[in-house]
Amino acid sequence: MEPTRIALVGMGKIARDQHLPAIAGDAGFSLAATVSPHDRGIDGIPHLDSLDDLLANGPAVDAVALCTPPQVRYDLATLALKRGIHVFLEKPPGATLAEVDVLQERARKTGSTLFAAWHSRFAAGVAPARAWLADRHVSKVEIVWREDVRVWHPGQAWIWEPGGLGVFDPGINALSIATHILPRPFFLRSGTLELPANRAAPIAAQLLFCDAAGAPITMDLDWRQTGPQSWDITIETDAGTCKLTRGGSVLTLPSGTEHSEDREYAGLYARFATLIRTGRSDVDTGPLKLVADAFLRARRETAEAFVE
Amino acid sequence: MEPTRIALVGMGKIARDQHLPAIAGDAGFSLAATVSPHDRGIDGIPHLDSLDDLLANGPAVDAVALCTPPQVRYDLATLALKRGIHVFLEKPPGATLAEVDVLQERARKTGSTLFAAWHSRFAAGVAPARAWLADRHVSKVEIVWREDVRVWHPGQAWIWEPGGLGVFDPGINALSIATHILPRPFFLRSGTLELPANRAAPIAAQLLFCDAAGAPITMDLDWRQTGPQSWDITIETDAGTCKLTRGGSVLTLPSGTEHSEDREYAGLYARFATLIRTGRSDVDTGPLKLVADAFLRARRETAEAFVE
C-alpha cells in the first residue's frame, strides 16, 4: 500500500519536537509538505505559507495534521474535510465543543477520517493502568500537574488568549488520561481558577471532581512550578494504589513499577493510519468538556500578573 | 390510567408561577407533595423539607420536577433516579455538562425517564418557525435578549454564583430556541462577557456564532435593560425574514404574524407524560454546551458592580 501523503500544518514546537520524527518513523506516512506563515519549513520538503496555497498549488496530499493553535483549527479542518482530506487534530481538538461537533458531522458526510488526538493516552503506562483499573473500586484520585510555563510554552501568546486554555493546555492531558483509565465517568463539583491580572487564561486551578459512584477526584494544576516538575495521577482502589507518574510513562502498581520509553506520537500516527485504512473517525470531546465545565463552574480569582 | 404522582422540588418563582398551574391543568399528573427547606408549601398538599425526607417519610411519588438552582440538581436527580423515579429537570439541566451525561447514563440503567426541559422550545411560534425554516437557506441571524434582572430574578443570589449562569440563565432560552429551529448547527467564533466587579457571573454578553455553512449569528444579552424588554430572534433567509418576538410566542413570517397564548409549561408536562408512558428520556445538552463554550472561549471584561 502506498503511504498516506501528509502535510504538517503549523510548524511550532509540537510539530518539530514530535510530529516530524513520528511521521519520519512511520512507513504508513510520507511527509508531502509543511505549511506555516511563520516558518521556512525543512530542507527537501515543499513548504507553503497557507493551507489555501497548498490546496491550490502544492503537491497532492491525502491527509493533514493540524498543529496550529486551537483558535484557527476549525477553518483549516473544514477546508481539508471539504476536499475529502483526512484530518489529524492536535489536542485540544478545537477552541469550542460545538465546533468539533460540526467537524465530526462534516467528516461523516465526506467520508474522511477525523482524528482528535490525545497524545497522553498513548503514554506507556496508560493502557496497562486502564486494564488494571477496569475491575477495581476506586475510592479516591489525586491529579497533580505542575510545570514551569516558561520552559514548556516559551513565547506562545495564543495559549493565554481566550480559547487557548492556559494551564489547562497541559491539564487537559491529565484529563485525557483520567477519562480513559478510570472505570466510571466523573464531573466537576467545584473549583477555583487563578488568572494573572494581565492574562485571559488561568495560570493555576484547584478542582474537585466526583465520579458517578461518589469518589472524590482532586486536580491541582499550576504553571508556576520551578525545579522538579510533576505530572502525576494517584488512584486509590480496593486492591491498592495505582500511580502514573512522568505524564503517564511510568506506572506503579502494588506488584511493582513499569517504565517504558516514550512512544506517544508513534502510537498516535499508528492509530491515525488504522482509522484511515478502516474508514473511521475517532473524536472524543470528553476531556475538553471537562475543561469547558471548569470555565463554566469554577470560581475565578486574580493572581499576580505574568510577565514572560 | 392513573395519573403520575409528582413532587415539586424547589418552590421558588418558576415553581409557583409555572409548574403548579401546569400540573394542576394536566390530568396526567397529580401533585403528591412539595419539597423545599425555605417554604411552607401550599394548602392541602403534603410538604417536606428535603427530598431525603420525602423518600423516607412522604407520600409515594412516581416522578419529581426539580426546580431548584442548578448547583444542587445533580444530587437530587441521582437520589430520585436510584429509586426508579422519573425526573423532570428545569433548565439548565445541570451546573456542568458532564454531570448531565452521568445522570443520563443512570436513567438508562434504571429505566427511568429523564427529561431536560427547555420551556422556550414550547413557545407558540417555535414549532411553526422550525417547520418554515427547515428548507430555507439562512444568511444571518440576530438574537437580542435584553431584560431587567431586578424584575425577573429578584433575590436570586445563586444565579450570580459559579454554575448559576448569570445573564445566560435567560440567554440559554434563546439558545434552546435557536438550536431547535435553525436548519444547521452553529458554534461560537468570539465574544465578550461583562462581569460586574462584585459578581461571579456575567451581566451582559456580546457573542458571534457561525453556522456550519458560515452564516453569522449575533447574540446580544443584557440584564440591565429597563423599560421595554426584548426577547427577539430575527432570521434572514432566501425566502425573506422570519422573526420570533416575545420569547418565541409571536412569529412573523413574510406571509403575516401569528400570536398564540402562552402554553410553554403545558407543553412541557404533556411531553414529560409521553416520555414516561413510552419509557424514554429526552436530554439535549446542546444549549448548555454553547453556554459552556462561551465561558471557555469569550473574553471577559469587568463591568460596574451590581447591587440589587
**Partners of residue B187 in chain A, C-beta under 8 Å:** 74, 96, 98-99, 101-102
A292 and B97: CB-CB below 8 Å?
A: yes
CA distance A121 to chain B (A): 20
Of A106, A162, A297, the CB nearest to B297: A162
SS in 3 state form for B231-281? EEEEEEECCEEEEEEHHHCEEEECCEEEECCCCHHHHHHHHHHHHHHHCCC
A98-116 pLDDT, tens digit each: 999 999 999 999 999 999 9
What pLDDT was estimated at residue A103? 98
Question: Which chain B residues are Cβ-neighbours of A92 within 8 angstroms?
Answer: none
Give the contacts of B175 (CB within 8 A, at least 6 positions apart).
B219, B286, B287, B290, B291
Round the average pLDDT of chain A to a whole number and report it. Answer: 96
Q: Which of B96, B286, B290 is opposite residue A297, by nearest beta carbon?
A: B96
Return d(Cα B206, Cα B144) in angstroms, integer: 10
Cβ distance A293 to B163 less than 8 Å, yes or no, reads: no
Assign domain B121-260+292-303 to its CATH superfamily. Answer: Dihydrodipicolinate Reductase; domain 2 (3.30.360.10)
Sheet holding A250-253, edge to edge: A256-259, A250-253, A240-245, A230-237, A138-146, A216-222, A204-211, A186-196, A299-303
**Residue B240 β-bridge partners:** B237
Nearest-CA distance A248 → chain B (Å): 24
DSSP chain A: -PPEEEEEE--SHHIIIIIHHHHHT-TTEEEEEEE-TT----TTS-EES-HHHHHHHS---SEEEE-S-GGGHHHHHHHHHHTT-EEEEPSSS-SSHHHHHHHHHHHHHHT--EEE--GGGGSTTHHHHHHHHTTPPEEEEEEEEE-BHHHHSTT-GGGGSTTS-TTHHHHHHHHHHHHHHSSS-EEEEEEEEEEETT-SS-SEEEEEEEETT--EEEEEEESB--SS-EEEEEEEETTEEEEEEGGGTEEEETTEEEE----HHHHHHHHHHHHHHTT--B---HHHHHHHHHHHHSEEEEE-----
**Which residue does chain B place closest to A191, by CA atoms?**
B162
Best of B296, B299, B300, B301 to mutate (most A CBs within 10 Å, chain A) = B296
Tens place of pLDDT for every residue, chain B, 308 residues?
799 999 999 999 899 999 999 999 999 999 999 999 988 899 999 999 999 999 999 899 999 999 999 999 999 999 999 999 999 999 999 999 999 999 999 999 999 999 999 999 999 999 999 999 999 999 999 999 999 999 999 989 999 999 999 999 999 999 999 999 999 999 999 999 999 999 999 999 999 999 999 999 999 999 999 999 999 999 999 999 999 999 999 999 999 998 887 899 999 999 999 999 999 999 999 999 999 999 999 999 999 999 98
> In chain B, what are the domain boundaries?
4-116, 121-260+292-303
Our CA-based measurement puts residue B171 at a distance from the nearest CA of chain A, in whole angstroms, of 15
CATH value of A4-116 in 3.40.50.720, 1.20.1090.10, 3.90.480.20, 1.10.287.110: 3.40.50.720
- CA A173-A176-A181 angle, to 5 degrees, is 130
Residue B193: which H helix or E strand, with range? strand B186-196
- Give A-chain residues touching B299 at CB under 8 angstroms: 162, 200
Nearest residue of chain B to residue A214 (CA atoms): B75
Of B215, B179, B296, give the one whose Cα is nearest residue A94: B296
**Cβ-based contacts under 8 A for chains A and B:** 96
Quick check: A295 and B292 CB within 8 A? Answer: yes
CA distance B259 to A166: 48
Best B72, B74, B82, B96 member to test A by mutation, with max A CBs in 10 Å, is B96
Q: Do B296 and A300 touch (CB under 8 A)?
A: no
What whole-number distance in Å separates Cα of residue B224 and Cα of residue B167? 10
Look at residues B231, B274, B270 and name the one whose alpha carbon lies nearest to residue B250: B231
Contacts of B212 in chain A (CB under 8 A): 102, 105-106
Identity at B122, one-letter amino acid code: F
| Interchain contact, B292 vs A290, CB within 8 Å | no
pLDDT in tens, A187-222: 999 999 999 999 999 999 999 999 999 999 999 999
Residue B39, pLDDT score: 81
- Packing angle, helices A126-133 and A168-181, rounded to 10: 40
pLDDT at position B18:
96
Distance CA(A182)–CA(A184), nearest Å, equals: 6
Torsion of CA A41, A263, A103, B208, to 10 degrees: -70
Inter-chain CB proximity B190 and A298 less than 8 Å: no
Closest-approach residue (CA) in chain B for A165: B296
Q: The cell 452553529 sits on which residue? A: B186
Q: pLDDT at position B185, please?
A: 98
List CB contacts (< 8 A) between A96 and chain B: 187-188, 293, 296-297
The residue of A75, A297, A301 whose CB has the most chain B CBs within 10 angstroms, and thus the best one to mutate to test that interface, is A297
Which pLDDT does position A308 carry in this prediction? Answer: 86
Of A96, A185, A299, the CB nearest to B297: A96
Which residue of chain B has the CA closest to A72? B189
Ranges under pLDDT 50 in chain A: none
Q: What are the Cα distances from residue A193, in Å, to A51, A187, A226, B188?
A: 36, 16, 20, 22
Give the model's pLDDT for residue A246: 95
User: Do residues B86 and B110 touch, judged by C-beta distance below 8 A?
Assistant: no
Determine the pLDDT at residue B247: 96
Name chain B contacts of A162, Cβ cutoff 8 Å.
190, 296-299
Query: What residues in A contact B300, CB-CB < 8 Å?
Result: 200
Three-state DSSP at B292 gives helix
Predicted structure pTM score? 0.97
**Substitution target from B158, B297, B300 for chain A, most A beta carbons within 10 A:** B297
Asked if the Cβ–Cβ distance from A105 to B212 is below 8 Å, we say yes
